[in-house]
Structure formats: structure tokens, C-alpha cells
Amino acid sequence: MKLKTRKRDIASPGDSGVMSDLAFLLIIYFMVIAGFQLNYGFLLSLPEKGGTSWIQEDDLAIISLQADGSIKLRDEVITFDDLGRRIEEQVARRPNMTIQLLIHPQAIYQNVVDILGMVHRLKVENFSFRLQEDNE
């Protein structure tokens, strides 16, 4: 018994009108959305190149994030919640408080993200972070 095979008709380019309409609508949609998101980006004011600034020792809080996840504030091991309370108190007393985060290269980066989120939530204006050197 021989089966009949049917040739399928190849769709003509004129039949792809629905796809072109969909593509056009998607392009318009993403153009509109991109315009809205431009105004809500993360604003960051960087210091001038080669510029130096002087910070009083009382206005500087050095946070050290260790490889084991422990947090040190001025060489004292504290918990994440205590860090939030202390930074909030210091920023309330000294609005020009500068926070420097020293990150151990082997530190868990979720802890870094948590500290960055806390600093953002507390509206700390002066913040910097860097990786610790091997001799630190």
C-alpha cells in the first residue's frame, strides 16, 4: 500500500504580515519603556580626577568584611544588625560621615550586597569600597 505524500505550500512573504505587526509593536513598546527608565537610574556623583579630599578621623567609619563573613567596625567584630544601628546613629550625629568598606577577596558577595543595601537605605552620602590587599 502506497501512501500519498502531499506537498506543502511554502508560505508567501505576504502572509507574514502578522509577524511584522507584532515586531513593530514590540519595538514601540521597548522604546516607550526605555524612555521611562532613563529618569530613574542610579545617580552617582564621582569625584574629580586627581582631586583629593580631607576627612576627619571622627567622620570616617571603616567597615571590614572578612572571608568568613564576619564584619568589623573599627577593628571590633559586630553583627550585621549592630552595624546598621551604629551607622544610623553615626550618620544622625554626623551627616558628613564617610563609610569605607574593605572587602576580603574571598568574602561572600551576598554580604557585600547586603551592606550596600543597608548603606543605601540609611542614605549615606559618602561611601567607598575596595578589595583588601593581601597584607591587610
List the pLDDT tens digit at each of the 136 positions of the chain. Answer: 677 777 666 666 656 677 788 888 999 888 877 765 555 554 556 667 766 777 777 788 899 999 999 999 988 999 999 999 999 999 899 888 888 999 999 999 899 999 999 999 988 888 888 898 866 5
- Asked, for residue 75, whether it belongs to a domain, the answer is yes
pTM above the 0.75 mark?
no
Question: Would residue 119 count as lying in a domain?
Answer: yes
Whether 25 is covered by a domain: the verdict is no
Domain assignment present for residue 102? The answer is yes
Residues 4-36 as b/e (b if ≥16 CB within 10 A, e otherwise) read eeeeeeeeeeeeeeeeeeeeeeeeeeeeeeeee
- The count of other CB atoms within 10 Å of the CB of residue 118 is 18
> What total number of domains does the chain contain?
1
* Predicted pLDDT of residue 43: 52
Domain encompassing residue 110: 57-131
Residue 92 lies in a domain: yes
**In whole angstroms, what is the distance from residue 52 CA to residue 78 CA?**
31
State the Cα–Cα distance between residues 104 and 86, nearest whole angstrom. 22
How many Å separate Cα 43 from the centre of its chain? 12
List the CATH number of the domain containing 126. 3.30.420.270
